[in-house]
Amino acid sequence: MKKPTKQVLTWRKITESRLFFPIVALTLILLFDFIFIPGFFAIENREGNLHGSLIDIFRNGSTVMILAIGMTLVIATGGVDLSVGATMAIAASVAGILMNPSALKNEVFFITDPNYTFQPLWLVITAALAVSLICGLWNGVLVAYMRIQPMVATLILMISGRGIAQLITNGLRVQITYKPYAFIGQGWVVLPFSLYLVAIVFAITWFITRKTAIGMFIESVGINFRSSYFSGIDEKKIKLLVYTFCGFCAGIAGLVASSNIKTSDANNIGLTTELDAILAVVIGGTAMSGGRFSLLASMVGALVMQAITQSMYAIGVPAFALQAIKAVVVIFVILLYSDQVKGFVQKISAPKKEV
């Protein structure tokens, strides 16, 4: 008699886990791909590196995955960061202009030498990340210390951020041909290099939020910032921290994105990715009102988004039209998590339990 109860318990544990829904969604999408798109799961070994549609999902999803890590923490405090796309563009512009400053002289300069760079790589990356940290810090100050609503505060950087990025690149699209930089987004060490970046950022964030008290502080600020304040948590510093960290993640994502397309394009890098990132977090089950969060579930959420995108491409839906489908998915997912639907489901399932 003990066995079945134990099974029921574990099944319950599984369904109540935050990972349950995103993984089911991912499985469904992959199942769809398996049936309708031949060769979707084929992985070939090219000179020791693995290639294939499945790997592409991970590789193309890496920017959103990195963004989702930062965004999860921001959303967990009950805020939101709309400026990550603009921050990506700013970071990419800084990196681009440091490697190929020809745009400053107002000329589009097509470099062919793969070893040409104006500044050394370490400086390029440090500068880009430093600038994105400043962007995040700016958001954090506005939200935590000036008490502006997070959506509005980050909207300001979203408006002017692309302008700033264009200011940096002088409004031109900067070509990046420097080989070592291209490795960030295009390199492979058995698996795509950007995946290792994701893993590193994830591991560090996971360690900090789950092995120290900071994760609990973040959740507590998200659930009720006033009572957290009274229980001795400096909620302002926590907010400042998460927005700064989110900016930092956006900076890394900007580097990956720009090295992926070998250009730093102030107008198009990170366009609408803030939505992808928010969506990934929402699919991962973190409530927009803040509170408990799961980094791993957000990552799976990002993969769900990328898997949808990839399979739509594979069926032949044009890139721009894809937005409409994503929009429907967003609304569907949010409704699924909403209290109204939950209440409705409970109403339906309640009489069954009685029987």
Partner 1 sequence: MLRMLGNFFSGNRKFIPLMSTALLALVAYGIGAYFFVGMRNPQVFFNLFRNTSYLLISGIGMTFVILTGGIDLSVSGVVALTTVASAVLLRDGWNAWVVVLLMLAMGMALGATMGSFITYMKVQPFIATLAGMWFARGMCFFISDDAVTIDNPVFQILGKTKILIPGLKELADQQGTPAPYISIPVIVAFILLGIAIYIAHYTRFGRTVYAIGGNEGRNEQSARLMGLPVNRTKMLVYTFNGFCSALAGLSFSLFVSSGHGLYAPGLELEVIASVVMGGTMLTGGSGYVFGTFFGVLVLAVTQALIQFIGSLSSWWTKIVIGILTLTFIGVQTVLANRKSGKTTQNTQELMAVRRRQQRLALGIGLLVILAGVAIFSVFKFRSGSSNQAEADTQCVVAPFREDEAANLVKNGAVIVYHRTAGPQCVDELFAIYPDGRITGSDGIKKVEKQIAPEEVEQLLTAISVDHQWFTNEIYSTYLNPCRQCFAHYIDISYNGQAKSATGVDGTTAMPPGYAFALAEIRPLLPEINPAP
* Binding of partner 1 by 134 (CB under 8 A): no
State which of residues 14, 43, 167, 213 lies at the interface with partner 1 (CB under 8 A): 167
* Binding of partner 1 by 55 (CB under 8 A): no
Task: Give whichever of 120 and 171 is closer to partner 1, judged by the CB atom.
Answer: 171
* Binding of partner 1 by 265 (CB under 8 A): yes
* Binding of partner 1 by 149 (CB under 8 A): yes
Task: Give whichever of 213 and 328 is closer to partner 1, judged by the CB atom.
Answer: 328
216-219: long-range pairs with CB below 8 Å, 24+: 218/73, 218/76, 218/77, 218/242, 218/293, 219/76, 219/290, 219/291, 219/292, 219/293
The stretch near partner 1 (CB under 8 A) out of 42-50, 158-166, 176-184, 209-217 is 158-166
Task: Give whichever of 158 and 299 is closer to partner 1, judged by the CB atom.
Answer: 158
Q: What does the CA dihedral 128, 130, 133, 137 come to, rounded to 10 degrees?
A: -130
State which of residues 12, 338, 342, 346 lies at the interface with partner 1 (CB under 8 A): 338
State which of residues 7, 126, 160, 227 lies at the interface with partner 1 (CB under 8 A): 160
CA-based end-to-end distance of the chain: 21
Tokens, residue 104: 């400053």
State which of residues 137, 268, 292, 314 lies at the interface with partner 1 (CB under 8 A): 268
State which of residues 54, 191, 314, 334 lies at the interface with partner 1 (CB under 8 A): 334
* Binding of partner 1 by 159 (CB under 8 A): yes
Task: Give whichever of 5 and 106 is closer to partner 1, judged by the CB atom.
Answer: 106
Minimum CB separation from partner 1 for residue 48, in Å? 29
* Binding of partner 1 by 216 (CB under 8 A): no
Task: Give whichever of 38 and 343 is closer to partner 1, judged by the CB atom.
Answer: 343
Q: How far apart are CA 22 and CA 311, in angstroms?
A: 17
* Binding of partner 1 by 108 (CB under 8 A): yes
Residues interacting with partner 1, by CB under 8 A? 80, 106-108, 110, 146-149, 151-153, 155-164, 166-167, 169, 171-173, 261, 263, 265-268, 272, 275, 278, 282, 288, 318-328, 330-331, 334-335, 338-341
